Amino acid sequence: MSAPHPRTHTAIVLVHGAWHGAWCWHRVLPLLRQAGVDSHAVTLTGVGERAHLLSPAVGIATHVQDIIGLIEAEELQRVVLVGHSYAGNLITCVADRLQRSAPGLLRHLVYLDASVPNPGESWSTPHSPDTVAQRVAAAQASSGLSFPPPDASVFGLSGADRDWVNRRQTPQPFRLYQEPLDFDPALVWAVPHSFIDCTRPALPTIDAARRRVRGEPGWTVHELATGHDPMVSAPRELAQLLLRIHHQASRS
């Protein structure tokens, strides 16, 4: 039997945000795959089912390599890369790496209610002093290893959805919270990019990104009238939007 050939169609790779894991895409992945789209979800080191790998060494480079490792292992040749929340920082750094090593592989970057950084900034940079102080203090309780998740109600979830997310969330590695990001914006923004703004309720820590994408050229902005975890609260609407973006990327 001959070895399979690398995949030449356009795939979707989903990257979860803080405290989450690949589990959060449970309602979205089947919808994408039923539409015939090759779709994958990565779990980042130290959270989700990989929480046992949490250590002081887990940083931005670790999570960037998690994503690139999945793309390489699956031999994906054309990718729509989706980053939720904190993972906006990660897909930015992944784009920098892949634009250097495999230009053309990334067909579109989707910032799903996500951080949109500048070089030298960290995940914490756009947050209010109170938010930063609270997270630093929470991390000190674990000797700087991690900080705990918020109640999922802040993501606009209630009832069984809130309970489901609360059961599954795990502490987030802390090192990467204030770690500066190193990337070339000219390389990153050469990849087509979209922002999905989740507006009901709008999570305050994403406000800086919301303003930025509406004030700079090159961005396509979509709105979903749901909370910060649309993969839980509005999976069909999110899947339909991702399929439209995928269709456009496939034709480019």
Which domains, and CATH codes, for the chain? 7-251 (3.40.50.1820)
The reported pLDDT for the residue numbered 8 is 74
Share of the chain above pLDDT 70, in %: 97
The reported pLDDT for the residue numbered 5 is 54
Q: Compute CA distances 45 → 15, 55, 61, 69, 151, whole Å.
A: 12, 9, 11, 12, 22
Say if residues 10 and 249 touch (Cβ distance below 8 Å). Answer: yes
DSSP helix/strand/coil, 234: coil
Task: Tell me which residue of 40, 80, 38, 83 sits closest to 63, measured CA to CA.
Answer: 83
The reported pLDDT for the residue numbered 1 is 41
Q: Tell me if residue 85 is catalytic.
A: yes
Q: Compute the mean pLDDT over every residue in the chain, rounded to the nearest whole number.
A: 96
Confidence of residue 252 (pLDDT cuts 50, 70, 90): confident
Residues 199-236: tens digit of each pLDDT: 999 999 999 999 999 999 999 999 999 999 999 999 99
Residues 45-86: tens digit of each pLDDT: 999 999 999 999 999 999 999 999 999 999 999 999 999 999
Among residues 39, 85, 115, 146, the one annotated as catalytic is 85
